Structure 1
Amino acid sequence: SAAQKREAFFGSINKEKLDTLRWSLKFGGLTPVARGSGSRTALMLAAGGGKPRALKELLEAVRYSNAIDRREMLEASDDDGRTALMHAAYAPHLECAVLLREAGASETAKCERGKTARAYAEAAKNAPGKRAEAQRVVDLFDGKYDEEEEEE
């Protein structure tokens, strides 16, 4: 059923079951902007949940869309106007933020409260145990983050 397909799709993002995720995108009629419970898209759930492997698969599907759809998918927002990049920044999940930026997600987009993804990363620095990762995300937006250095 459609409900089972949706459940399998969102479960595959959470567990990073890439075969199920690919099947859902190819044959299950689901897209990177399908909304889970609430107003978050699949992209947001992967980005905010720190699921880079699932996010890569979703972004692959975005990449194969036409330019207009691609832009709309990357800029889709939840009920509070937050994009997937904002979710990655606030989590904070550096790898997911990097993937979204590489895919062309807007850094200048603002949520309903007028905050950019960078502002969300700044805010995340106040969360217990998240300061270092949040600072790396801020550095990414400020052009101070060196990916090569991190991958050693």
Structure 2
Amino acid sequence: MKQILTVVAATALTLSSCGSKNNSQSADTVNDTIAEAEVVYSLLGKWNIENIVVNDAVSVRPDSIDAYFDFKNDSAYVVATGCNSIQGGYALVGDSIKWGNSLKTTMLCPDNMAVEDILTQVLPNVVVVDFENDTVARLNTSVPNQYIVLSKEQSKQ
């Protein structure tokens, strides 16, 4: 999925409003561009893990624990699994994501290991981020039918 910055479309719309009689044709072209433009969302912030799917038969929902991704900036992340944490670097270019080196704590937590085990199996395979909207993202892997669903934590006011 190619992402087109809405700023470009807005700038084109503004520029097309300046000029002479040919504005109606230019405005139509810009309106078509705006209709085709996709909204660009950001991974920055805290995203709760809603579901981790390995295949059609294996998945886990971390309902009883606080499991989340926290994308600190454009290059660093932390994942909390309710027991251990993973932290490292990432690079997001368009909808493609590449993971850098990471560190993981290794405490034994009998009640929370299922989420962590599946997450560490799926996370290295994640290569694409698909945003459903500004509050739901899906981390798709290079393995068919394997993905992680995230929901953006709403800021408290």
Q: TM-score, normalised by structure 2?
A: 0.21
Q: TM-score, normalised by structure 1?
A: 0.21
> Greater strand share, 1 or 2?
2
Higher relative contact order by CA 8 Å / sep ≥ 6: 1 or 2?
2
Structure whose alpha-carbon radius of gyration is higher: 2
> Greater helix share, 1 or 2?
1
